[in-house]
Structure 1
Amino acid sequence: MLGWWLGASAAVFAQEAAPDAAALLDRAATDPRALKELQRFDEMMANPMIVNQHPDLRYRDLAMAAYKHGDKARALRMFMRAGAFADKPSQAAVANMYWEGVGTPVDRPRAYAWMDLASSRGYNRFIAQREYYWSQLSEAERAQALRVGQEILVEYDDKVALHRLEMELEYVRRNVTGSRVGSIGWGTIQGAGVTSAYNANAPSWMTLDQFYRSSVWNIDSYTRMKDLQWKVQVESKPTVEVGNLQNVAPPGSPPGK
């Protein structure tokens, strides 16, 4: 599995808002109301029909499939496309692939720049990984990382990427219901119900107002839910650090053998 799911490791043009973002995520992760909305969000996002209409998730899924099947170059391209829609795990995946030379030549300054971007909304594991990368760079590589980072921000900074995602979600929201002014109207969607760990008996339909809930289609609410989802489902889980491989003597072997 990609190493970017784990953190082990730092900063230069790190955004000043990152510590505040991390603190807000920490508070939200213990807020019962936020967790209840996250449960609804998870149920909605378990639906492939909804995921396919979110380019950040659609391209991430394509990247993971390509990586699994050994097409690392395509995986990198798909992760970058997902990253263009402000998907932080995908941006971290790009960083990891540049750092390790997977699907691309090793480029440590570019890896740092991508991990810095991935950490900009306060994801603690990505912040730690960014700090580790920085500690490993030479002075020349650090200077290059700053230059590359400014180039990457032109297309992938959240101000640009989230606006790009907002336009995509707004287009879907307005056109699927047939409304040009965004009115949801009355009706139901057959086959839109989902079965999840939260609700094994989810109905096979849902009303339009349920389907188009704010946390799924409004860019601000959607971004907050994705951030909270990462905090609760990934960063709250323990991690295991694996050290260097060592020779282990078979049971019963004399010392030193």
Structure 2
Amino acid sequence: MTGRLIVGLFALSLAAGASPAATPTGPDPAADAGLADVGYMHLHPDVEYRQLGLQSYRRGHHAVAFDHFRRAGYFGDKPAQGLVAEMYWKGEGVPADRALAYVWMDLAAERGYRDLVGLRERYWAQLSAAERQRALEQGPALYREYGDPTVKPRYARRLQRLRNQITGSHIGTDVGVLAGQRDASGAVALTGGLYADANWNAEQYWQRQDRLWRLKLGGTVNIGDVEAMNPEGAALPPPAAQGTNDPPRPH
């Protein structure tokens, strides 16, 4: 399964710049050329940096791609966090580090997207006891910076700040004419396009992301009663704080 994520996201990235496809979840903003024209990508760096990373990876610029994926992951993009994990696992653009790869894939699987959870389980099964221990030691610091409890409030503040800026009197561009409509007073009516609530209301934004990625990455799963095995085939006892036989979460 390793490598499938990158290949799959390449296919998705080819849709960028085309008309957004109709799906049960509605159009994907990342594939909407109209939104791209009025700055959607720049205003939503999780999407922008993932797309830049995919472009760089396709060109063989792996170190640049790794940096872009990590930046997208900073803004909560779970597929990008999974791509960071795959590059650590394979040593592409960065020295191979399977313990860090597991931590990043665990981050990527945080919302339960099935393909990412599957990769996390595969990673864990292949780690040595020493690598597992290092993952548990290094994980908390990364979770404090890249996990949803930090990312989501941080991104909510960013969305609110940017929405206020682009609709303010000092906007300096005519984005409203392109993406929205103005009422009789000249104010922008935030009814659609770039100004749709799902682009700026953090709760709606994450809900739409979940719907889109559940469709693209095979739904969601909850992992339970999975025995973590050491290289000799004996089940590892779970940490006292875990209470289950799930692969330990390094946070």
Global fold match (TM > 0.5): yes
Cα displacement string for residues 74-131 of structure 1 (whole angstroms, at most 9, x for unaligned residues): 1111101100011000000000000011001110000000000000101111111000
Q: Aligned residue for 1:191?
A: 178
Aligned partner (choices 199, 215, 218) of residue 232 of structure 1:
215
Q: Is the 8 A contact 2:50 2:72 kept in 1?
A: yes
Q: Aligned residue for 1:213?
A: 196
Aligned ranges for residues 1-257 of structure 1 at < 5 Å? 2-5=3-6, 38-39=25-26, 41-42=27-28, 46=32, 47-48=35-36, 49-178=39-168, 189-192=176-179, 207-211=189-193, 212-235=195-218
Give TM-score scaled by structure 1 length: 0.67
Identity %: 38
Deviation at 1:192, TM superposition (A): 2.9
Q: Secondary structure at the match of 2:176?
A: strand
Cα displacement string for residues 152-200 of structure 1 (whole angstroms, at most 9, x for unaligned residues): 11211111112222222111111111179xxxxxx9833338xxxxxxx
Q: Give the letter for the 1:140 counterpart.
A: A
Q: What RMSD over aligned residues (CA atoms) do the two structures have, in Å?
A: 2.7
Runs of 4 or more, structure 1, over 4 Å off, are none
Q: Which has the higher contact order (CA 8 A, sep 6+)?
A: 1
- Of stretches 133-142 and 214-223 in structure 1, the one that deviates more from structure 2 is 214-223
Q: Secondary structure at the match of 1:189?
A: helix
Q: Is the 8 A contact 2:30 2:47 kept in 1?
A: no
- Unmatched segments (≥5 aa) in structure 2: 9-22, 181-187, 220-251
Q: Is the 8 A contact 2:48 2:72 kept in 1?
A: yes
Whole-angstrom distance in 2 between the partners of 1:165 and 1:100: 30
Cα displacement string for residues 15-42 of structure 1 (whole angstroms, at most 9, x for unaligned residues): xxxxxxxxxxxxxxxxxxxx76x31x52
Deviation at 1:224, TM superposition (A): 1.1
Deviation at 1:5, TM superposition (A): 4.6
Whole-angstrom distance in 1 between the partners of 2:113 and 2:29: 23
Whole-angstrom distance in 1 between the partners of 2:57 and 2:175: 37
Instruction: Return the index of the structure with the highest Cα Rg.
Output: 1
Aligned residues: 189
Give TM-score scaled by structure 2 length: 0.68
Whole-angstrom distance in 1 between the partners of 2:3 and 2:189: 38
Change (3 A) 1:43 1:69: closer
Whole-angstrom distance in 1 between the partners of 2:99 and 2:179: 44
Q: Is the 8 A contact 1:45 1:51 kept in 2?
A: no
Q: Is the 8 A contact 2:115 2:217 kept in 1?
A: no
Deviation at 1:209, TM superposition (A): 2.1
Whole-angstrom distance in 2 between the partners of 1:154 and 1:220: 20
Q: Give the letter for the 1:123 counterpart.
A: Y
- Unmatched segments (≥5 aa) in structure 1: 8-34, 181-186, 194-205, 237-257
Whole-angstrom distance in 2 between the partners of 1:210 and 1:60: 24
Whole-angstrom distance in 2 between the partners of 1:44 and 1:83: 16
